[in-house]
Amino acid sequence: MPVRGFTLALSLVLTLCGLSPQASAEHTGLTLYTENFPPYNYGNDEHADGFSVAVLEELSRRLKQPLHIRVVPFNRALQDVEKAPNRGLFSIYRTEERAARYKWVGPLTSANVALLAHRDRPITLSRLEDARSLERIGVQENSAYHYTLMSLGFANLDTAAAALPDEAGTPNIHRLYKGRINLWVATVASAREKARLLSYDPDELQIAWVLARDDLYLAFNLDTEDALIRDWQAALDQLKREPLWQQLEQRYLR
């Protein structure tokens, strides 16, 4: 059968099965979802960059597994990764609530998560519970520390930023600098990088309370084959033993 005839026949079979040729091609590799979360991951569908992106692209090259990275809002990433196997989400904190929902590769790196105040409106906390008396704490909806603070009884968590335009990862940075929230729950390195990218002074961010130093992971859909998870974990472990790992850390995280 001529190539064109074979292609048309394949398209017809896929259509009758409820699939498109494009959908079939999508499953020949991995689709990884991420958000604008510099310096770990940032960009758009045409070009993504950052420490985690560089690490995962290197693993993809070594494992000879095609990789498509989608940069989308965080809540959409959470939804899309659960729709099919061979989909993953990064860079994500592994929490007790999330542990059984995904298959994990990592850690990719670790980071400090804190309650951040603005220098012009300083806030001193002698204990975390003191933050409950504040009017508004900005937090990304459905994030790991949104759930953590809710579980601790915080009733002043403000997720209104989820309905606002998504610049550089979260509008909460604008709200903090403009005095619309008292504190912002954020990864410190990412908050400082977002401030710089948006022409704010990063030194105006002040840590009111460190919530944790936590690890960031790649989380795969639960239906992804265990062999793939093992291969990616082994490749990551090997990369960490090589000089290239330190070079990537120096390039993106220093």
Which tens digits make up the pLDDT trace of 19-40?
333 333 334 589 999 999 999 9
Residue 79 and residue 7 share a domain: yes
- How far is the CA of 213 from the CAs of 69, 91, 150, in angstroms? 26, 14, 19
The pLDDT assigned to 30 comes to 97
**pLDDT, average across residues 225-249:** 98
Residue 207 and residue 187 share a domain: yes
> How would residue 160 be classed by pLDDT, with cut points 50, 70 and 90?
confident
Contact 119, 234 (CB under 8 A): no
- How far is the CA of 175 from the CAs of 60, 117, 139, 193, in angstroms? 38, 11, 11, 16
For residues 147 and 151, what is the distance between their CA atoms, to the nearest angstrom? Answer: 6
Tokens read off for 159: 């997720």
The pLDDT assigned to 164 comes to 53
Question: Taking 50 as the threshold, does the pLDDT of residue 240 lie above it?
Answer: yes
The pLDDT assigned to 3 comes to 37
Residue 194 and residue 170 share a domain: yes
DSSP run (H or E) holding 183: strand 183-187
For residues 149 and 134, what is the distance between their CA atoms, to the nearest angstrom? Answer: 14
**pLDDT, average across residues 219-241:** 98
The pLDDT assigned to 4 comes to 36
| Identity of the amino acid at 87 | R
Question: Taking 90 as the threshold, does the pLDDT of residue 13 lie above it?
Answer: no
Tokens read off for 137: 């704490």
Residue 170 and residue 96 share a domain: no
Number of domains in the chain: 2
For residues 33 and 153, what is the distance between their CA atoms, to the nearest angstrom? Answer: 31
Q: Which three-class secondary structure state does DSSP give residue 61?
A: helix
Question: Taking 80 as the threshold, does the pLDDT of residue 176 lie above it?
Answer: yes
**pLDDT, average across residues 150-161:** 92
Residue 205 and residue 80 share a domain: no
Mean pLDDT (the chain, rounded) = 88
Domain of 248, CATH number, reads: 3.40.190.10
Vertex 70: Cα angle to 248 and 170 (nearest 5) = 80
For residues 203 and 201, what is the distance between their CA atoms, to the nearest angstrom? Answer: 5
The pLDDT assigned to 112 comes to 97
**pLDDT, average across residues 88-94:** 97
The pLDDT assigned to 58 comes to 98
Q: Which three-class secondary structure state does DSSP give residue 17?
A: coil
The pLDDT assigned to 15 comes to 36
**pLDDT, average across residues 159-175:** 69
Q: Which three-class secondary structure state does DSSP give residue 135?
A: coil
Residue 14 and residue 72 share a domain: yes
The pLDDT assigned to 165 comes to 52
Residue 102 and residue 8 share a domain: yes
Residue 223 and residue 141 share a domain: no
Pick from 4, 6, 231, 225: which is nearest to 103 by CA? 225
The pLDDT assigned to 162 comes to 60
DSSP run (H or E) holding 174: helix 172-177
Residue 104 and residue 128 share a domain: no
For residues 57, 75, 190, 164, the Cα torsion angle rounded to the nearest 10 degrees is 130
Q: Mind giving me the DSSP string for 78-113?
A: HHHHTSSTTEEEEEEE--TTTGGGSEEEEEEEEEEE
| Identity of the amino acid at 128 | L
Full residue range of the structural domain in which residue 237 is found = 3-108+216-253
Range in 61-75, 105-119, 157-171 with the lowest mean pLDDT: 157-171
Residue 234 and residue 200 share a domain: no
The pLDDT assigned to 7 comes to 36
> How would residue 45 be classed by pLDDT, with cut points 50, 70 and 90?
confident
Residue 170 and residue 91 share a domain: no
> How would residue 166 be classed by pLDDT, with cut points 50, 70 and 90?
low
Contact 85, 29 (CB under 8 A): no
Q: CA-based Rg of the chain, rounded to a whole angstrom?
A: 21
The more confident residue out of 217 and 7 is: 217
Pick from 171, 141, 183, 135: which is nearest to 155 by CA? 135
Residue 51 and residue 123 share a domain: no
The pLDDT assigned to 163 comes to 53
